[in-house]
Amino acid sequence: MHSNYFTENPDLLFHLQHPVFEEIVTLREDNFRQSELFPQAPADYAAALAEYKEKLTLVGRLCAEQIAPRATAVDREGAHFAAGKVSYAAGTKENLRLLTEAGLMGVTLPRQYGGLNFPRTVYTMMTEMVSGADASLQNLFGLQDISETIYLFGDEEMRQKYLPLFTSGEVDGAMALTEPEAGSDLQSVQTTAEFDQASGMWLLNGHKHFITNGCARILLVLARSEPGSEDGRGLSLFLLENGPGVEIKRIEDKLGLHGSPTCELLLHNAPAQLIGQRRRGLTRYVMSLMNGARLAIAAQSQGIAEAAYRLALRYCSERKQFGKPLRQLAPVNEMLLRMKVNIMAGRSLLYETSRYVDLRDSYERMNNSSAEVSPENRQKEKNFSRIAALLTPLSKAFSTEMCNQACYDSIQCHGGKGYMQDLEPERLYRDARITNIYEGTTQMQIVAAIGGIMQRSLEPLLDEITSLTYSGKLAEIASEIAKARKVFNAAISHVEQKADGYFFDLMARRLVAMQTVVLIACLLLRDAGNNQERQQLCRCFIDMYLPEINCHYQIITAEEKVTAEQKEKILEM
Ligand SMILES: Cc1cc2nc3c(=O)[nH]c(=O)nc-3n(C[C@H](O)[C@H](O)[C@H](O)COP(=O)(O)OP(=O)(O)OC[C@H]3O[C@@H](n4cnc5c(N)ncnc54)[C@H](O)[C@@H]3O)c2cc1C
């Protein structure tokens, strides 16, 4: 449908050219001193931007010409499992070969390990495009995050040994966290790790399931290294080379993402190396890995939603009922508009998040490599880190739920044809369904976000945006947002004052929804201030979502009329 997933999506270019991006790139390129060490490194911001655009255009073309046309065949064929071995569908193999040949297997890794040293924001755009073309392929392409974790937390010997193998495509990775009894609650992981003096290796024993690409050459495994411990502080992270001691029991028969094998693994004294320090596996390393993956799933959702929208728009432009194209029928038109506004809203939040992640990472890298760190730079790293930690679950929750709705609406726009396997919306709908489950369900994103919301962590960002000067229609919108913020803050205070754990857990999702609406409204307002064409987009979002703030407030502050015990009884009626 596209001839290029990048050049035909002006919204991506808009976000790539955000004013703060220059600071990110300058930090990432060590003030462009990298160009003295690596001939391929850009000498200034303009050269860096040109390089990003060139690579994004290449990915956009591969998506349109190679990956998307194979997606249906990949879905039908799926991954294979025989005699304990997994193999990909033919189209998946070809797609991975093309992405590897294009040098895209270490997009964010530093150049000394063969990476491109691109900011996360650029990688996120690639993620979005690949997902729109074939969401199952993204699950394999995205596993380069494994190498990022080795880079961040492994020692130099480990980095030198493994990272070049990742960037050249010689090895691939997987993240083995989940177990039958430890899903959302990863603190209860039971796989054990015992140090073996004779070999100097850790021996892993346990049962992992639902592991994407569990057949990979390099597995990062979360395991209990501290006997007798019961919570996350007894867990460490291990690098396991797939080989003796690793048994792939089966691959799952799933609703969607057929091209991506989801494996059940048994570990029998599998020899592994510790990454970083003991006890920090879950609390530090996996949290970092999962936050990166959550951003990627938000981008995956944006890509799927965009694909679903484009199919719906084309179909509704061509098909006529009652003498006119479907898109001219008001209810259908409204569905299309809602999809489009939601996609652009989600993208604004996604790239705001990726920029904060980039800022955090850039300051962290710079501060860690400086002999002396100024208090100002240390403070910046802390601030960016706090905001990124809150934006990430908000973005994941919004984009994944939105993506499911967009795929649902795309089928609705197609009518009966949408239900048929010979059209694409059906595949997108199935692929979308996992996005709000893996890498932490939406409910777990709410758990991750609510602390920061109660601490009002985003207030400085919102103040910064709303204190810009807006005129005319944008000034009206700014004042509507200001009113909504007051209602939102009153809702937070109400929940605080109640000081009731059950009520807090129950209302958390409403506070998260309110925070997300206020935040996106601000982002779209700022975007509209920078680009007049986006004014009506902002207006549409405000009209669609701001009324929900009052609705949530009413529910939060209403007197409780049915008790928790009475609700339990209703469940059994
Ligand atoms: C296709 C696929 C690929 C996957 N890939 C990987 C992978 O590569 N590596 C890996 O380690 N794992 C992977 N997973 C596992 C995935 O991350 C988990 O399925 C997910 O985290 C949910 O865990 P669970 O399935 O055990 O559900 P449960 O934890 O049992 O949750 C069931 C329901 O209860 C809710 N719930 C649970 N706890 C709470 C709470 N405290 N508050 C509110 N609600 C709660 C959940 O939101 C959910 O609705 C994959 C799963 C699938 C299906």
Q: Stretch 339-362: mean pLDDT, rounded?
A: 97
For residue 306, give Cα distances in angstroms to 8, 126, 130, 191: 12, 14, 12, 39
- Residues 6 or more apart whose Cβ sits within 8 Å of residue 438: 210, 212, 297
Is the confidence at residue 244, as pLDDT, over 90?
Answer: yes
Amino acid at position 426, single letter = E
List, by residue range, all CATH 2.40.110.10 domains of the chain. Answer: 173-279
Is residue 282 within 6 Å of ligand 1 at its C-beta? no
Nearest CA to ligand 1 atom 7: 211
Whole-number pLDDT of residue 330: 97
Dist CA 252 CA 410 (whole Å): 27
Dist CA 400 CA 355 (whole Å): 19
The fold of 458-559 is: Four Helix Bundle (Hemerythrin (Met), subunit A) (1.20.120)
Atom of ligand 1 nearest to the CA of 441: 47
Dist CA 193 CA 232 (whole Å): 14
Instruction: Put residue 3 in one of left, alpha, beta given phi > 0 → left and psi -120 to 50 → alpha.
Output: alpha
Is residue 184 within 6 Å of ligand 1 at its C-beta? yes
Please, how many CA atoms are within 13 Å of residue 359, restricted to the half-sphere of its CB? 25
Whole-number pLDDT of residue 73: 98
List, by residue range, all CATH 1.20.140.10 domains of the chain. Answer: 281-449
Dist CA 172 CA 451 (whole Å): 35
Written as six digits, the tokens of 186 are 């990863």
CA of 441 to the centre of ligand 1 (A): 6
Atom of ligand 1 nearest to the CA of 185: 29
Mean pLDDT of the chain: 96
Atom of ligand 1 nearest to the CA of 252: 1
CA of 439 to the centre of ligand 1 (A): 7
Q: Residue 1: which pLDDT band, with cuts at 50, 70 and 90?
A: low
CATH of the domain spanning 173-279, picked from 2.40.30.30, 2.40.110.10, 1.10.760.10, 2.102.10.10: 2.40.110.10
- Residue 453 · residue 512 · CB < 8 Å: yes
User: For residue 121, how many other CB atoms are within 10 A of its CB?
Assistant: 26
Nearest CA to ligand 1 atom 30: 183
Q: Which of 144, 184, 435, 505 to mutate to test the pocket of ligand 1 (most atoms within 8 A of CB)?
A: 184
Q: Which of 210, 220, 290, 505 to mutate to test the pocket of ligand 1 (most atoms within 8 A of CB)?
A: 210
User: For residue 550, how many other CB atoms are within 10 A of its CB?
Assistant: 14
Q: Residue 368: which pLDDT band, with cuts at 50, 70 and 90?
A: confident
Instruction: Put residue 23 in one of left, alpha, beta given phi > 0 → left and psi -120 to 50 → alpha.
Output: alpha
For residue 370, give Cα distances in angstroms to 134, 245, 364: 41, 42, 10
- Residue 233 · residue 283 · CB < 8 Å: yes
Is residue 177 within 6 Å of ligand 1 at its C-beta? yes
pLDDT digits (tens, 9 = 90+) for 428-457: 999 999 999 999 999 999 999 999 999 999
The percentage of the chain sitting over the pLDDT mark of 70, rounded to a whole number, equals 100
Tell me which DSSP letter residue 182 carries: B
Dist CA 247 CA 267 (whole Å): 6
Is the confidence at residue 159, as pLDDT, over 90?
Answer: yes
User: For residue 85, how many other CB atoms are within 10 A of its CB?
Assistant: 9
pLDDT digits (tens, 9 = 90+) for 289-330: 999 999 999 999 999 999 999 999 999 999 999 999 999 999
Atom of ligand 1 nearest to the CA of 208: 11
Is residue 188 within 6 Å of ligand 1 at its C-beta? no
The fold of 1-171 is: Butyryl-Coa Dehydrogenase, subunit A; domain 1 (1.10.540)
User: For residue 156, how many other CB atoms are within 10 A of its CB?
Assistant: 7
Amino acid at position 264, single letter = E
- Residue 426 · residue 419 · CB < 8 Å: yes
Is the confidence at residue 246, as pLDDT, over 70?
Answer: yes
Written as six digits, the tokens of 23 are 């600071």
- Residues 6 or more apart whose Cβ sits within 8 Å of residue 150: 158, 159, 162, 163, 166, 220, 239, 275
Is residue 183 within 6 Å of ligand 1 at its C-beta? yes
Dist CA 425 CA 117 (whole Å): 35
Q: Stretch 467-494: mean pLDDT, rounded?
A: 96
Q: Residue 98: which pLDDT band, with cuts at 50, 70 and 90?
A: very high
CATH homologous superfamily, domain 281-449: Butyryl-CoA Dehydrogenase, subunit A, domain 3 (1.20.140.10)
Is residue 434 within 6 Å of ligand 1 at its C-beta? yes
Atom of ligand 1 nearest to the CA of 254: 1
Tell me which DSSP letter residue 254 carries: -
Question: DSSP readout, 264-277?
Answer: EEEEEEEEEEEESS
Please, how many CA atoms are within 13 Å of residue 240, restricted to the half-sphere of its CB? 33
Nearest CA to ligand 1 atom 31: 184
Question: DSSP readout, 514-564?
Answer: HHHHHHHHHHHHHHHHH-GGGHHHHHHHHHHHHHHHHHHHHHHHSPP-S-H
Dist CA 388 CA 453 (whole Å): 13
Q: Stretch 101-125: mean pLDDT, rounded?
A: 97
Atom of ligand 1 nearest to the CA of 447: 42
Is residue 506 within 6 Å of ligand 1 at its C-beta? no
For residue 473, give Cα distances in angstroms to 435, 470, 480, 487: 36, 8, 11, 22
Dist CA 237 CA 222 (whole Å): 5
Whole-number pLDDT of residue 90: 98
